[in-house]
Structure 1
């Protein structure tokens, strides 16, 4: 009996030290590694860094949206994601009356016809790129047969309180509707 008690007293502290499972230890320290990989196979993923923190859509239905449509002689592209974890936050990229092409990079400017634009939504207030706060959207894949669009992006926006938000390391790999 003393042998078993001695063994337990020796093993239990070791198990306690090595068997702890802290959820924070399982999360990657680098926010970029928390983003989905930059794929081009229609994985229906979206992610970026929002002010240095990983931003991904939550699990609600319609937390992501992507379409590329030809309407009344003009092209309209939208890809975006939202997350309700603390407050409604959303990141969206779009073109207004502007065709997109695989391998092309588009400057993100004002929200006007003929431009590509980026937006950050916080509590239902949209904040758009501008001539001062700009960015870039690169279309890395545009597959009309399988309706896949993939790309990378970054941009800055100023919110209604004068705070500049940095969106970096953005990537998406989505199926689009027409």
Structure 2
């Protein structure tokens, strides 16, 4: 009897140890990202070098503003998280005096010039922007000024602090913005 109990305990322990305890439910790639919605769900996700990037933790992991300042529009969407090594990582899309329009696609190059639009990869406070050699696209799929909802898709590349290419792919967001 003791032997049977011991064997059952070993089998149970083996099953428990072999079970994968994933916070993501076992999904991979784009399957881990939130669905593309247009109702102000406050969702954001993309693949960062092929791995799911979904904002979490921190003081303000997800922020979106679309403001009118001195007659010009400024859009900023930023999503942040801490990785397993406790590094702070953020992905951001920014415009400089540029109105965004539903069903329009914008090249993510540089926001430093008036009317510019850029993508940013931020690693522990260091900012790496899209440029003429490493760029991408932002498509605004829904914009509701009255209800303060903006939705879209994006992708872009940047070069990081080590000179390595960072690929941001399959990005999507559905946000309530502040003005």
Contact (CA 8 Å) 2:57, 2:82: kept in 1 or not? no
Residues 132, 21 of structure 1: alpha-carbon distance in 2 compared, 3 angstrom cutoff: same
> 2-side partners of 1:123 and 1:61: how far apart?
15
In the aligned structure 1, how far is the partner of 2:12 from the partner of 2:91? 44
Mean Cα deviation higher: 54-63 or 168-177: 54-63
Q: Which moved more, 1:64-73 or 1:19-28?
A: 19-28
Deviations 1:59-88 (A, max 9, x none): 333111100011111110011111123201
Q: Secondary structure of the residue that 2:163 maps to in structure 1?
A: coil
Q: CA deviation at 1:28?
A: 2.6
Q: Which residue of 2 aligns with 1:50?
A: 48
What is the count of residue pairs matched by the alignment?
A: 175
Deviates more, 1:115-124 or 1:22-31: 22-31
Deviation sequence 1:133-167 (CA, Å, 0-9, x none): 01000111111122111111000001232111100
Aligned to 1:119: 120
Q: Gaps spanning 5+ residues in structure 2: where? A: none
Say if 2:126 is the partner of 1:128: no
Kept after mapping to 1: 8 A contact 2:107/2:137: yes
The 10-residue stretch of structure 1 (57-66 or 18-27) with the greater mean CA deviation from structure 2: 18-27
Q: Give the distance between the partners of 1:42 and 1:53, measured in 2 at CA.
A: 25
Give 4+ residue runs of structure 1 displaced > 2 Å after superposition: 5-22, 24-29
The answer as to whether partners of 2:24 and 2:32 remain within 8 angstroms in 1 is no
What is the DSSP-based 3-state SS (H/G/I as helix, E as strand, rest coil) of the residue aligned with 1:33? helix
Distance in 1 (alpha carbons) for counterparts of 2:24 and 2:8: 24
Q: Give the TM-score, by structure 1 length.
A: 0.87
